């Protein structure tokens, strides 16, 4: 009986997006006449996003968040592993079909809109690419979407340079949503905006998710944003997801020492407290030279002998997992 | 009810307080740029002169009349001066004003044609190199370097002396030789645009590569293209004059400004106007085109001035 109920729940929660052991390496030249080296941007990442979820992906700059996002969008083939969107492997799907299912919202609305095209033309482009309708229908659809994201219809013939940052991000969101994708990958959607505009955009994203039944993958290094938006959080460090848990659990009781340090690093508005000490040290992670064993051990406050030689296996904990020798087998 | 019918005069709507559109700003900058206006006007006059040559020219530019040879222009004074030949006649008695007017056709024809040929070659190579990068970029850069290592005038001279000279040959030789600047400028402009997120957004929307190049990249590199095009047009006109002067460009009796200077070089000390008139015409045309090009660069991309 319970087994049958479980299956029903599983069917309902068929993954919107599934990454299995996805890796991506780049060959980079380190100088003239020197041999090329391998940069491990993403290594063995598995991620599951269920319909209706908001999964937060956090980590510091250069940890592979954006590379992972590009692979999930089908813009970059993984060197290893498989990505499935709504159960179908992306490697076998044409770009246009992926585009109907997954759409991005980028960080910088000053760079993500073509300055030579009018707002109307920018939002119409997705409809044009998918084809199959006439321009009057397109115009009606675009104006309806503009209204939905809080843009005046009168802006249809204006250019991006005439809009504010917040308005531009609304245009970018309208472009991403006009074809009604199932999953939206938001890559730092608010970090280029003024603080006063950030909350407006976040509330808009929440509202649209409710109204249109969207699923979000929210990439951010702003922990407050992630805590506010996400239902589940994955923490990435140097190309790997080191901890994954429900938002409440993660923010209440972070398990991985890196997650603990990240949460400790949040600046408080309290004057006089200064910059918090995260005990991470100054060793900056280098994806060209990944440390042996646990890749976090050179910066870890709880480093043990085993960490220097053996890479930790993921240990299930609650709804998620953590990759650390402090947990699991004693 | 009456209130609802009132026009909302004086209350600014969102549209009223927007910044002016790029088109309005461009028009404003054009009207404030003197170099652009002067260059554009001179060029427009010369283009009109070339188009309306049969109406403007008082005589047939090929008509020889040895009885009326070497008449000086009207400001010179003297017995031979006549309003029938305002700029005088050359050593074969051909009307100099008519030859100058028809010569504008040759200069502009060569300038525009060579610019178009080189523009197509250079733009295609540059945009492809800038967009795809990697090996393609290396190959194109190698071709550009190879082209840059060849001196234009020497190669043009060699080719023309082998193939023989005609208007068509001159146009093709120049067109195939001066595309390097197009390629270099288009390559770096495309690289800049390529890194912007709206290109990634277009890819994520499922746009095909040709569509991205035409609708996303092209409109953003067009201003650079126009500037290079004007400069290369001036370059082609000067090279044609040089080739014609050396006797390897346009062949007599075709009226070409470079050829007019060349034919008059023997008489330079006795009848200097024969050289100064076509010389001034060439100077004015090239100066006008360059002023126009500089002006276009200033008004289309104010941040690239320098």
- Tokens 């905006």 belong to residue: A193
Q: Which of B291, B235, B298 is nearest to B44 (CA)?
A: B291
Q: Hey, are the CB atoms on B198 and A111 less than 8 Å from each other? A: yes
Of A289, A223, A279, give the one whose Cα is nearest residue A250: A223
Q: What is the pLDDT of residue B44?
A: 92
Q: State the CATH number of the domain containing residue B151.
A: 1.10.3720.10
Using the beta-carbon criterion (under 8 Å), do B220 and A114 form an inter-chain contact? yes
Which range has the worst mean pLDDT, A297-306, B30-39, B203-212?
A297-306
CATH number at residue A236: 3.40.50.300
* Domain interval for residue B197: 44-59+85-304
The three-class DSSP label of residue A34 is coil
Residue A262 near residue A58, CB atoms below 8 Å: yes
**Burial (0-12, 13-18, 19+ Cβ within 10 Å), B156:** buried
Is A96–B18 a contact, with Cβ atoms under 8 angstroms apart? no
Place of tokens 């923010």: A251
Structurally, chain A folds into a number of domains equal to: 1
Whose CA is closest to A113, among B240, B85, B193, B38?
B193
In chain A, residues with a C-beta closer than 8 Å to the C-beta of B211 are: 129
The answer as to whether B225 is a domain residue is yes
Residue A149 to residue A282: CA distance in whole angstroms: 43
Q: Which two tokens stand for residue B241?
A: 């004059």
Phi-psi map region of A74: left, alpha, beta (phi>0 left; psi -120 to 50 alpha): left
- Distance from the A57 Cα atom to the nearest Cα atom in chain B, whole angstroms: 20
Residue B178 lies in a domain: yes
Q: Which domain holds residue A104?
A: 37-111+182-267+283-322
The verdict on residue B96 lying in a domain is yes
Helix axes A165-177, A119-130, angle to 10 degrees: 20
Average pLDDT over residues B238-246: 85
Helical residues (DSSP H) of A81-164, grouped into ranges:
95-101, 119-130, 135-148
Q: B281: distance to nearest CA of chain A, Å?
A: 38
Query: Per the domain annotation, does A120 fall within a domain?
Result: no
Number of other residues whose CB lies within 10 A of the CB of residue B306: 4
A192 versus B196: the higher-pLDDT residue is B196
B111 falls within a domain: yes
Q: How far is CA A210 from CA A176, A192, A219, B5, B302, in A?
A: 16, 24, 19, 39, 44
Give kind and range of the element (H or E) at residue A152. none
Q: Taken in order B50, B52, B58, B63, is the CA torsion positive or negative?
A: positive
In order along its 330 residues, chain A shows pLDDT tens digits of 344 444 444 445 578 888 888 888 888 876 667 777 888 888 888 888 888 889 999 888 778 888 888 888 888 888 888 888 888 888 888 888 888 889 999 888 888 998 888 899 999 999 988 887 788 888 998 999 999 998 888 888 888 888 888 899 999 999 999 988 889 999 888 888 888 888 889 999 999 999 888 999 999 888 888 888 899 999 988 888 888 888 888 888 888 888 888 888 776 666 666 666 666 666 667 777 778 888 888 888 788 888 888 888 888 877 788 888 888 654
Give the C-alpha separation, A163 to A170, whole Å.
Answer: 10
- Chosen for mutation from A71, A99, A112, A116 (greatest number of chain B CBs closer than 10 Å) is A116
| A152·B19 Cβ contact <8 A | no
pLDDT at B6: 45
Of B185, B214, B174, the C-alpha closest to B123 is B185
Structural domain count, chain B: 1
Chain segment B163-187, per-residue pLDDT in tens: 887 888 888 988 999 899 999 999 9
Does A290 reside within a domain?
yes
Query: Across chain B, what does the average pLDDT equal?
Result: 83
Q: For residue B33, tell me if it sits in a domain.
A: no
Q: Is A292 part of a structural domain of the chain?
A: yes
């Amino acid at each position: 009986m319970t087994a049958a109920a479980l299956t029903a729940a599983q069917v309902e929660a068929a993954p919107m997006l599934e990454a299995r052991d996805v890796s991506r390496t780049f060959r980079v030249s380190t100088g003239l006449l020197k041999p090329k080296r391998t940069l491990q941007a993403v290594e063995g990442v598995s991620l599951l996003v269920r319909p209706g979820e908001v999964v937060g992906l956090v980590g510091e700059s250069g940890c592979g968040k954006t590379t992972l996002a590009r692979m999930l969008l089908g813009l970059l083939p993984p060197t290893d592993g498989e990505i499935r969107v709504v159960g179908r492997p992306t490697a076998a799907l044409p770009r246009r079909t992926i585009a109907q299912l997954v759409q991005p919202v980028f960080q910088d609305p000053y760079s993500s809109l073509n300055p030579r095209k009018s707002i109307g033309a920018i939002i119409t482009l997705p409809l044009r690419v998918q084809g199959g309708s006439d321009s009057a229908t397109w115009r009606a659809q675009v104006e309806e979407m503009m209204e939905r994201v809080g843009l005046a219809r009168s802006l249809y013939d204006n250019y991006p340079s005439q809009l504010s940052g917040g308005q531009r991000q609304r245009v970018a969101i309208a472009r991403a949503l006009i074809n009604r994708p199932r999953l939206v990958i938001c890559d730092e959607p608010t970090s280029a905006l003024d603080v006063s505009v950030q909350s407006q955009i976040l509330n808009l994203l929440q509202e649209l998710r409710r109204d249109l039944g969207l699923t979000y993958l929210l990439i951010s290094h702003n922990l407050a944003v992630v805590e506010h938006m996400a239902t589940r959080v994955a923490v990435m460090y140097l190309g790997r997801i080191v901890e994954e848990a429900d938002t409440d659990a993660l923010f209440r009781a972070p398990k991985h020492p890196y997650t603990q340090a990240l949460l400790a690093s949040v600046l408080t508005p309290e004057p006089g407290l200064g910059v918090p000490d995260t005990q991470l040290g100054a060793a900056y992670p280098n994806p060209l030279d990944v440390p042996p064993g646990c890749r976090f051990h050179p910066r870890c406050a709880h480093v043990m002998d085993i960490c220097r030689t053996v890479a930790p296996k993921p240990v299930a904990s609650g709804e998620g997992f953590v990759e650390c020798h402090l947990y699991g087998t004693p | 009810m009456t209130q609802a019918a009132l026009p909302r005069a004086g209350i600014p709507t969102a549209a009223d307080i927007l910044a002016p559109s790029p088109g309005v700003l461009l028009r404003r900058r054009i009207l404030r740029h003197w170099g652009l206006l002067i260059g554009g006007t001179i060029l427009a006059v010369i283009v009109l002169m070339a188009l309306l040559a049969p109406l403007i020219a008082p005589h047939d530019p090929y008509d020889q009349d040895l009885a009326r040879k070497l008449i000086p222009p009207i400001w010179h004074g003297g017995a031979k001066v006549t309003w029938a030949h305002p700029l005088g006649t050359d050593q074969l008695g051909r009307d100099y004003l008519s030859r100058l007017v028809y010569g504008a056709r040759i200069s502009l024809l060569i300038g525009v044609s060579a610019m178009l040929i080189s523009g197509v070659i250079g733009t295609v190579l540059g945009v492809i190199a800038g967009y795809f990068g990697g090996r393609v970029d290396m190959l194109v850069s190698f071709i550009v370097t190879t082209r840059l290592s060849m001196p234009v005038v020497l190669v043009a001279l060699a080719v023309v002396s082998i193939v023989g000279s005609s208007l068509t040959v001159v146009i093709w030789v120049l067109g195939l030789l001066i595309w390097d600047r197009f390629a270099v400028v288009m390559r770096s402009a495309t690289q800049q645009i390529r890194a912007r997120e709206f290109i990634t957004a277009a890819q994520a929307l499922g746009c095909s590569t040709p569509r991205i190049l035409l609708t996303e990249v092209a409109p953003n590199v067009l201003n650079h293209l126009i500037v290079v095009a004007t400069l290369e047009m001036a370059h082609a006109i000067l090279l044609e004059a040089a080739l014609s002067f050396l006797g390897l460009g346009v062949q007599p009796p075709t009226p070409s400004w470079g050829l007019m200077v060349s034919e008059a070089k023997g008489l330079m000390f006795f009848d200097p106007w024969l050289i100064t008139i076509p010389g001034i015409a060439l100077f004015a045309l090239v100066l006008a085109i360059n002023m126009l090009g500089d002006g276009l660069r200033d008004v289309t991309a104010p941040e690239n001035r320098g």
